[in-house]
C-alpha cells in the first residue's frame, strides 16, 4: 500500500513539474508574477515555475510590430478638414514596463498618434501638408518615441500613409494639375518647334555654304586647268621655237608664221585677203627650210 502511495505521489510530482516547464522561444519574453507581484522576466530557454505560486502574467513578442491606424480627421491652419491615416513601426524594449506601464498599449499609441497628428497638421497649411510628409513623419516619430519610453516601447518609424482632402479640394487640385500639365505640354511643344526650325535653318545654311565652297572649288580647279593648259601650250611653243632657233632659221620662222597666219585667215569668215608680195620667195624659203630639216 505504501509503495502504491509513493508511486502516486511521484507521478503527481512529475506531472506538476512537466506541467510547469515553460520553453520560451526566440524573440519572446515572459513576465512572471509570484503571488501577484512581479518576480522576473524569462528570456529564451527552458524555465520552471512553482505551481500555484508563480504565474506567467504576460507573454511579450520582442519583434518589430506594425500597426496601421484608421484615417483620422485633422484640420489644417487654413481650416481645411482632411483625413490622414498613419502606420507606426515599433518594438518592445522592456517587457516589464510594457506589462505594467499602460493598460492597452496599442490603443494608447493610437490615441497618442491621433492627437500628435492633429497638433502637427494644425501648424501647417494645405499645400505644406501635401508636400511635407518627411517633416510630419520625423516630428511624429520623435514625439511618440519620447512619450512611449515609460511603456517600454520604442517607436522606430512613423509613416503618413494617405492624405485625403475633401472632394471639392481634390477636384480643384486636379483642375490645377491639369492646367499645369497643359501649360508644360504647350511649352515643350513650342520649344520642340523652335528647335526644329533652328535645325532646319542651320541645315540650309550649311548646305548653302557647302554649295558655295563647291562652286568656288570648281572655279579654282577650272582656272588652274586653263592656266596649266596655257602654260603647257606656251612651253611647247617655246620649246618649238628653241628647236627652230637652234637650226638658225630665224628669218624662215617669220615666214612660216606668216604662212600659218595666212592659213587661219583663209579658213575664217573674212571677205578680203591680202597676199604678201613676196609670196613666191616665201614658198621657196619654206622649201629650203624643209630641206634643212630633212638633212
Residues 56 and 125 in one domain: no
Residues 11 and 96 in one domain: no
Q: Nine-digit cell at 42?
A: 524569462
Of 90, 110, 107, nearest in space to 152 by CA: 90
Q: Among residues 23, 42, 61, which one ends one of the domains?
A: 61
Residues 15 and 78 in one domain: no
Tell me, yes or no, whether 129 lies in a domain.
yes
Confidence check: pLDDT of 103 > 50: yes
Q: Report the alpha-carbon distance of residue 79 to residue 73 in Å, rounded.
A: 12
Evaluate whether 256 touches 289 at the Cβ level (below 8 Å): yes
Expressed in angstroms, the distance from the first to the final Cα of the chain is 173
Q: What is the CATH number of the domain that holds 147?
A: 3.30.479.30
Map grid coordinates 510590430 to a residue. Answer: 65
Evaluate whether 102 touches 151 at the Cβ level (below 8 Å): yes
Residues 255 and 219 in one domain: no
Q: pLDDT, tens digit, for every residue of 239-280?
A: 766 666 665 555 555 555 555 555 555 555 545 545 555 545
Residues 116 and 204 in one domain: no
- pLDDT, residue 216, reads 85
Q: Report the alpha-carbon distance of residue 160 to residue 165 in Å, rounded.
A: 14
Tell me, yes or no, whether 177 lies in a domain.
no
Q: Among residues 165, 196, 213, which one ends one of the domains?
A: 165
Tell me, yes or no, whether 196 lies in a domain.
yes
Q: Report the alpha-carbon distance of residue 102 to residue 92 in Å, rounded.
A: 13
Tell me, yes or no, whether 176 lies in a domain.
no
Structural domain count of the chain: 4
Q: Among residues 114, 137, 165, which one ends one of the domains?
A: 165
Residues 242 and 258 in one domain: no
Tell me, yes or no, whether 115 lies in a domain.
yes
* 141 C-beta neighbours (distance < 10 Å), count: 19
Residues 239 and 268 in one domain: no
Residues 44 and 7 in one domain: yes
Tell me, yes or no, whether 207 lies in a domain.
yes
Confidence check: pLDDT of 108 > 60: yes
* 171 C-beta neighbours (distance < 10 Å), count: 11
Which are the contacts of 91, defined by CB distance < 8 A and separation ≥ 6? 62, 63, 64, 65, 153, 154, 156
Confidence check: pLDDT of 143 > 90: yes
To 5 degrees, how large is the angle CA 156–CA 157–CA 163?
Answer: 165
Higher per-residue pLDDT: 248 or 125? 125
Residues 69 and 159 in one domain: yes
Residues 11 and 87 in one domain: no
Residues 11 and 48 in one domain: yes
- pLDDT, residue 224, reads 83
Residues 240 and 252 in one domain: no
Q: Nine-digit cell at 136?
A: 510630419
Tell me, yes or no, whether 175 lies in a domain.
no
Tell me, yes or no, whether 121 lies in a domain.
yes
Where residue 294 falls among pLDDT bands split at 50, 70, 90?
A: very low
Helices (H), the chain: 2-19, 95-100, 105-121, 126-131, 133-148, 167-246, 250-267, 279-294
Q: pLDDT, tens digit, for every residue of 164-221?
A: 888 887 777 777 778 888 888 888 888 888 888 888 888 888 888 888 888 888 888 8
Evaluate whether 72 touches 85 at the Cβ level (below 8 Å): yes
Range of the domain at 114: 65-165
Amino acid at each position: 500500500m505504501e509503495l502504491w502511495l509513493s508511486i502516486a505521489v511521484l507521478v503527481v510530482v512529475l506531472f506538476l513539474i512537466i506541467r510547469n516547464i515553460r520553453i520560451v522561444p526566440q524573440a519572446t519574453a515572459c513576465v512572471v508574477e509570484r503571488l501577484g507581484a512581479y518576480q522576473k522576466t524569462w528570456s529564451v530557454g527552458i524555465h520552471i515555475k512553482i505551481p500555484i505560486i508563480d504565474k506567467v502574467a504576460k507573454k511579450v513578442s520582442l519583434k518589430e510590430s506594425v500597426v496601421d491606424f484608421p484615417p483620422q480627421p485633422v484640420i489644417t491652419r487654413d481650416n481645411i478638414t482632411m483625413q490622414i491615416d498613419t502606420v507606426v513601426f515599433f518594438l518592445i524594449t522592456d517587457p516589464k514596463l510594457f506589462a505594467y506601464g499602460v493598460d492597452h498599449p496599442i490603443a494608447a499609441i493610437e490615441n497618442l498618434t491621433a492627437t500628435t497628428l492633429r497638433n502637427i497638421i494644425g501648424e501647417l497649411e494645405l499645400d505644406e501638408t501635401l508636400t511635407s510628409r518627411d517633416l510630419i513623419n520625423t516630428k511624429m516619430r520623435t514625439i511618440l518615441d519620447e512619450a512611449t519610453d515609460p511603456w517600454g516601447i520604442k517607436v522606430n518609424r512613423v509613416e503618413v500613409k494617405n492624405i485625403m482632402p475633401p472632394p471639392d479640394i481634390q477636384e480643384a487640385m486636379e483642375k490645377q494639375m491639369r492646367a499645369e500639365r497643359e501649360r508644360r505640354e504647350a511649352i515643350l511643344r513650342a520649344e520642340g518647334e523652335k528647335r526644329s526650325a533652328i535645325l532646319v535653318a542651320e541645315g540650309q545654311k550649311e548646305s548653302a555654304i557647302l554649295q558655295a565652297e563647291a562652286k568656288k572649288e570648281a572655279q579654282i580647279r577650272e582656272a588652274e586647268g586653263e592656266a596649266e593648259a596655257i602654260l603647257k601650250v606656251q612651253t611647247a611653243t617655246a620649246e618649238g621655237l628653241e628647236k627652230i632657233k637652234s637650226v638658225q632659221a630665224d628669218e624662215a620662222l617669220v615666214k612660216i608664221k606668216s604662212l600659218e597666219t595666212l592659213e587661219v585667215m583663209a579658213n575664217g569668215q573674212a571677205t578680203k585677203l591680202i597676199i604678201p608680195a613676196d609670196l613666191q620667195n616665201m614658198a621657196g624659203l619654206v622649201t629650203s627650210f624643209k630641206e634643212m630639216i630633212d638633212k
